């Protein structure tokens, strides 16, 4: 039975996240329905990351086992045909080794958070960025962000319903850059806690607004207390950009 690796792009706006639910539309549910339409099988599609409601992806990865073998490109095209009109695109569908696991074989995940720092209302980017009207000091945000790098107990930046066994994670990258009105936050790690990225972004925005200093951010991390966290950024601006494998 071939194992297929799927590389997927989606707009998370109409979905209640990745993980399948009985009463709400999800990305996983739409993909599994498309697989069944092609193969007639109930197949579990396993994702590399369980993105939350409203979170987007440029390079989500999933795997599934399908009894039928398809010529190169045929499964990708068939899934895309059955996914319409959902805003989901299968970019590639490749046969991989039987021991490949989209989630557990991953060695690094890369996320982008997009902020538009403008007082003007959004038009084209509604649901795809976080509009922050107050002026942000992206340089101060970047300097403060470096205080979160390395291995730490990230309880402060962890959702209270997070199911991870340990709050310890190793953050490899957290960069803040500005280009015009756009403030982009790029972060990478082997794995993240539930809502960790959005929690870090919200706290960094407080730094950018001058409410917090870099020392305040470091103190919040050290507190290991969810109550010490700044605001949680909305899902609109978050994108799973890429998942790395050996």
Active site residues: 52
φ, ψ of residue 118 to 5 degrees: the values are -150, 150
How far apart are the C-alpha atoms of 185 and 114, rounded to whole Å? 7
Number of Cβ within a 10 Å radius of residue 204:
28
Backbone Cα Rg of the chain: 19
CA–CA distances in Å: residue 84 to residues 79, 179, 192: 9, 34, 31
- β partners of residue 189: 109, 171
Q: Pairing relation of β-strands 106-116 and 238-245?
A: antiparallel
Q: Report the candidate in 81, 80, 91, 76 with the shortest Cα–Cα distance to residue 8.
A: 91
Q: Report the candidate in 182, 186, 173, 197 with the shortest Cα–Cα distance to residue 136.
A: 182
């Amino acid at each position: 039975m071939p194992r297929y690796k799927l590389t997927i792009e989606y707009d998370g706006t109409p979905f209640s996240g990745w993980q399948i639910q009985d009463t709400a539309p999800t990305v996983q549910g739409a993909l599994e329905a498309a697989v069944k339409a092609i193969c007639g099988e109930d197949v579990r599609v396993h994702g590399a990351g369980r993105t939350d409601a409203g979170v987007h992806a440029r390079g989500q990865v999933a795997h599934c086992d399908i009894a039928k073998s398809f010529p190169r490109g045929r499964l990708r095209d068939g899934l895309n045909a059955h996914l319409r009109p959902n805003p989901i695109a299968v970019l590639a569908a490749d046969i991989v080794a039987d021991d490949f696991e989209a989630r557990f074989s991953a060695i690094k995940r890369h996320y982008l958070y997009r902020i538009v720092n403008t007082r003007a209302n959004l038009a084209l980017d509604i649901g795809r960025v976080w509009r922050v009207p107050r002026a942000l000091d992206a340089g101060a945000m970047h300097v403060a962000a470096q205080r979160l790098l390395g291995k730490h107990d990230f309880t402060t930046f962890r959702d209270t319903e997070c199911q991870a066994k340990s709050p310890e994670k190793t953050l490899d990258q957290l960069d803040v850059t500005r280009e015009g009105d756009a403030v982009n936050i790029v972060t990478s790690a082997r794995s993240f806690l539930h809502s960790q990225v959005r929690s870090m972004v919200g706290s960094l925005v407080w730094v950018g607004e001058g409410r917090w200093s870099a020392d305040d951010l470091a103190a919040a991390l050290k507190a290991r207390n969810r109550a010490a966290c700044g605001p949680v950024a909305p899902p609109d601006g978050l994108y799973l950009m890429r998942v790395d494998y050996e």
